[in-house]
Structure 1
Amino acid sequence: MTVDEDVRGYLEANAADLLVDRLAEWVRIPSVAGVPERKHHLMRSANWLAGELRSIGFPVTEIWEGPDSPAVFAEWSGAADAPTILIYSHHDVRAVKEENWKQTSAFEPVFRDGRLYGRGSSDAKGQVMAHLLALRAHLAAAGRTEPAVNLKFIVEGEEEAGSPGLKELIEANRQRLQADAVIFSDTLLWQAGHPALCTSVRGMTGVHLEIYGPLTDIHSGAVSGTAPNPALELGRLLGQLHDEKGRITFPGFYDDVEEMSQRRREELAALPFDAQDWLERSHTRSILGEEGYTPLERLWERPALEVVAMAAGDPVGAKRAAVPSMAAADLSIRTVAGQKAEAVADQVRRWVRDTVSDGYAYELSIDTETAQEPYRTPDGRVLDALAAAMAKGFQTRDVGRMGNAGGGPAELLSSVLNIPVIFFGTGLVEDNWHDSDESARVDILKAGAATLAFLWDELGRQSAATP
């Protein structure tokens, strides 16, 4: 048998135990970000991962304390003259609305119809487990005692809260995290049957806006028709965020947006796209957005703005028939190449200042400290090797190119460490990230593990062949 066949054989023989069962055990730890009563579970989760890394053979595994939760660092650097790869991901998960879960309780994972259900199964514990299984297969298939490349892991515990402590953690440990490239594993694939290599992510800037009307909530029967209603004013503002062509209306917002290259347009056009398939997989009702661009271009190459939360008056419980004193909304702004969070924040401030009507007060907060900048992967040897490994791992001749509609601390990692970031994830849009019944397709995790095992072998061969 060839090494490639041995890798596949190892994965088939061991996936049930070392992937499904182990991932299920990890998912049972409710390592929810930003919830104080769950904070101790983040340490349990970090210790669980550190134990898994030690069991594979990592000679160095450490828990690094962040401001709010721990990160796991591991290093295995025994391959002289081979490249060093830093693997980034996260072990914290999003909060859940337990009443919306139908397949299982969020932290009681079940394997059903080829999927493992549970919070974190895909985002992103499943992606980390694909790395661990890949390394086991890489070692076993060739009878190795150490990897063909030097590997480092940084798996943080604050990503779902915006990675507030990651910059400080990276800067404090810059020398220990030095590598030739980052493999960033917190992203999506295009389709199960048509994998694509992610080469860009959008940035993200969060905005919280509060509009104030009466000094207190006040009976509408006493003041209706004369009092400023902040819910109406907020609704008016939100209705002006986009123009009739679907463009965001902040003055100057598009001035710094880089136009897509012809190469990028062709890459995205080459991906198979069926509107009905997309609607079904994404659980969306229709396809809207900026005129003049295809759906995939809107997703990955154009900026976007979403209202992700609104509150005013009495949304639950008994109604008081009162004009509310305050209405609030949270906005998520997705930025693209050329845009900077600070510049976008200034555009938002000016727009709100000029658009709020007389008779109202407001408070605007924009968290530029945890804002994420967009990032695009440069061409290079590791990217080419990953494309070849994906074709082999997913057993296809056609590996496309795609982007990621969400964000992540890719630009932060690249700028602080001065190295390129290459994306490889095993998620699918139908995995329901951040929603109820999150799940991961086990066959996709296995294909991802095969890809990574082939990648380490290929990079090791390349370094051996280089004089």
Structure 2
Amino acid sequence: MNHLETLDEYFKEQRDEHLGQLKDFLRIPSISALSEHKNDMQQAAEWLLNSFKEAGLENLSIDETDGQPVVYGDWLHAEGKPTILVYGHYDVQPVDPLNLWETGPFEPEVRDNKLYARGASDDKGQVFMHVKAVEALMQKTGGLPVNVKFIIEGEEEIGSPNLEKYIEANKDKLAADVIVISDTGMQGPGQPAVCYGLRGLCGVQIDVQGAKSDLHSGLYGGGVQNPIHALAEVLASFRDKEGTIAIEGFYDNVRPLLDEEREAYQALGFNEDELKEEIGVTELFGEKGYSHLERTWTRPTLEVNGVFGGFSGEGIKTVLPAEAGAKITCRLVPDQDPDEIIEKLKAHIEKHKPVGVTVTVTEFDKGKPFITPFDHPAIQAAGRSYEKVYNVPTAYTRGGGSIPIVAAFDEILELPVVLMGFGLASENFHAPNEHFHLENFDQGLRVIGDYYYEIAGFEKDELKK
């Protein structure tokens, strides 16, 4: 019996037990954004530590940070073999609006072979799969083909504000040969994908101040600058009509798209007409010369996420507002730096602000982009594991979103990062009725177990970044 047959036997035997355990994990309302759930966060960390122990992991600890704790465990008895560092998070998003949930967000229920609960897909379900893959191998073979370390945090959903400091302070403890993260998605149902890059992020708020209070538009209109008009002028200066960003130097460090990557994306057969129908738009929009996938995976953006100011109630109020503002985010690609982009953004605003107003810029979220070459051995090994279980070719993709801590892992530990996700875009993570397709739970367990064997076949030097 080979290792995939061994895993299959174990997971079939234990499926009901495993689903029951996962439901217990999902019942804990570990919402990191809300202080009233502090005790729930501790309970989730302790539950996870106990699951590590039952799986056979050692050197267990709940490590305190300035925020929520990090849960650690390892198994380091595969002498001479590579070490996999598994990262994930046990915190979840808030659940509102509660009235849109068909069943309680912390009352897990299986319907149509989908497990519904907050955290089912993002990320408790996927973290749980890695723990159970270790348990299966320990139970059936008495050990693991590789060394493993687990680092599961409780603040990913609020931007991981304390994890980078933790990683810096524990570089020796976290030393490994490859980092594996299951917090991304597949290309579609039955279509596995390895994500080898994520965009970075920087966000700002622009505040435009005019007069010291709202003014009567009949008395002052035409003689005093209107902050909303001033803001609109600044916002309009950011991009041209084709969507190209007009900030000086914005594209200076953008890494060009490789021909091999472009060919791989074309081979996915993505249907842009179907996307238009799905999201309800007449046309897609973006830089000329790029497909939709290329625009959203490999090109930087500048988007206005919200605009505020003036009177917006029923009827009309004839005033010149005293102030107006907007929230802006930029998605960044290798090799753009968030701090440099914010400085260029500020310089652009200063150059283009109209007379008669004061403009201030406040910085918010920042995270660097990340990429591991898609031909890296650890990436290709993940593709092979998917293909053995799903029996279809693996797609190699980049993600348009951002997981800022991934870039921190990449820079601090200097290791290849493999994003092997098992979620689907339709699973409502961050929204009501979050769920996880159990066929991907079942198959994903086998993929993860096989991946440990794939990595065991490499010499450590072969996995260097």
TM-score, length of structure 1 as denominator length: 0.89
Task: Indicate the residue corresponding to 2:370 in structure 1.
Answer: 375
Pairwise CA distance, 1:237: 2.9
Q: Is the 8 A contact 1:138 1:457 kept in 2?
A: no
Cα pair distance change 1:272/1:220, threshold 3 Å = same
Range with greater deviation from structure 2 (386-395 or 220-229): 220-229
SS in 2 for 1:9: helix
Task: Indicate the residue corresponding to 2:43 in structure 1.
Answer: 44
Pairwise CA distance, 1:284: 7.0
| Identity fraction in percent | 31
SS in 2 for 1:371: strand
Is there any run of 5+ residues in structure 2 with no aligned partner, and where? none
User: How far apart, CA to CA, are the structure 2 residues paired with 1:233 and 1:82?
Assistant: 61
User: How far apart, CA to CA, are the structure 1 residues paired with 2:109 and 2:369?
Assistant: 36
Q: Which amino acid aligns with 1:419?
A: L
**Counterpart pick for 1:263 among 260, 263, 277:** 260
Q: Which amino acid aligns with 1:437?
A: N
Pairwise CA distance, 1:257: 0.9
Pairwise CA distance, 1:432: 2.6
Number of residue pairs aligned between Structure 1 and Structure 2:
459
**Counterpart pick for 2:388 among 386, 392, 414:** 392
Q: Is the 8 A contact 2:56 2:135 kept in 1?
A: no
Pairwise CA distance, 1:182: 0.6
Cα pair distance change 1:195/1:80, threshold 3 Å = same
User: How far apart, CA to CA, are the structure 1 residues paired with 2:39 and 2:314?
Assistant: 33
User: How far apart, CA to CA, are the structure 2 residues paired with 1:219 and 1:235?
Assistant: 20
Cα pair distance change 1:124/1:277, threshold 3 Å = farther
Range with greater deviation from structure 2 (131-140 or 287-296): 131-140
Task: Tell me, yes or no, if structure 1 residue 365 matches structure 2 residue 391.
Answer: no
Q: Is the 8 A contact 2:224 2:356 kept in 1?
A: no
Task: Indicate the residue corresponding to 1:453 in structure 2.
Answer: 449
Task: Indicate the residue corresponding to 1:7 in structure 2.
Answer: 7
Cα pair distance change 1:75/1:187, threshold 3 Å = same
Pairwise CA distance, 1:314: 5.9
Task: Indicate the residue corresponding to 2:249 in structure 1.
Answer: 252
Task: Indicate the residue corresponding to 2:189 in structure 1.
Answer: 192
What are the Cα deviations for residues 413-462 of structure 1, in whole angstroms up to 9, with x where unaligned?
Answer: 12211222111111222123333332221211222221111111233355
Q: Is the 8 A contact 1:307 1:330 kept in 2?
A: yes
Task: Indicate the residue corresponding to 2:83 in structure 1.
Answer: 84
Question: Which structure 2 residues correspond to residues 298-447 of structure 1 after superposition, within 5 A?
Answer: 298-313=295-310, 323-367=320-364, 371-378=366-373, 379-396=375-392, 398-408=393-403, 409-447=405-443
Q: Is the 8 A contact 1:389 1:454 kept in 2?
A: yes
Question: Which structure 2 residues correspond to residues 213-228 of structure 1 after superposition, within 5 A?
Answer: 213-217=210-214, 226-228=223-225
Q: Is the 8 A contact 2:137 2:143 kept in 1?
A: no
Is there any run of 5+ residues in structure 1 with no aligned partner, and where? none
User: How far apart, CA to CA, are the structure 2 residues paired with 1:218 and 1:34?
Assistant: 39
Pairwise CA distance, 1:264: 0.8
Task: Indicate the residue corresponding to 1:162 in structure 2.
Answer: 159
User: How far apart, CA to CA, are the structure 1 residues paired with 2:181 and 2:76?
Assistant: 19
Q: Is the 8 A contact 1:86 1:177 kept in 2?
A: yes
Task: Tell me, yes or no, if structure 1 residue 56 matches structure 2 residue 55.
Answer: yes
User: How far apart, CA to CA, are the structure 2 residues paired with 1:154 and 1:318?
Assistant: 55
Q: Is the 8 A contact 1:138 1:456 kept in 2?
A: no
Pairwise CA distance, 1:268: 0.9
SS in 1 for 2:167: helix
Q: Is the 8 A contact 2:228 2:324 kept in 1?
A: yes
Task: Indicate the residue corresponding to 1:296 in structure 2.
Answer: 293
User: How far apart, CA to CA, are the structure 1 residues paired with 2:72 and 2:162?
Assistant: 15
Task: Indicate the residue corresponding to 1:230 in structure 2.
Answer: 227
TM-score, length of structure 2 as denominator length: 0.90
User: How far apart, CA to CA, are the structure 1 residues paired with 2:398 and 2:353?
Assistant: 35
Cα pair distance change 1:330/1:176, threshold 3 Å = same
Pairwise CA distance, 1:183: 0.7
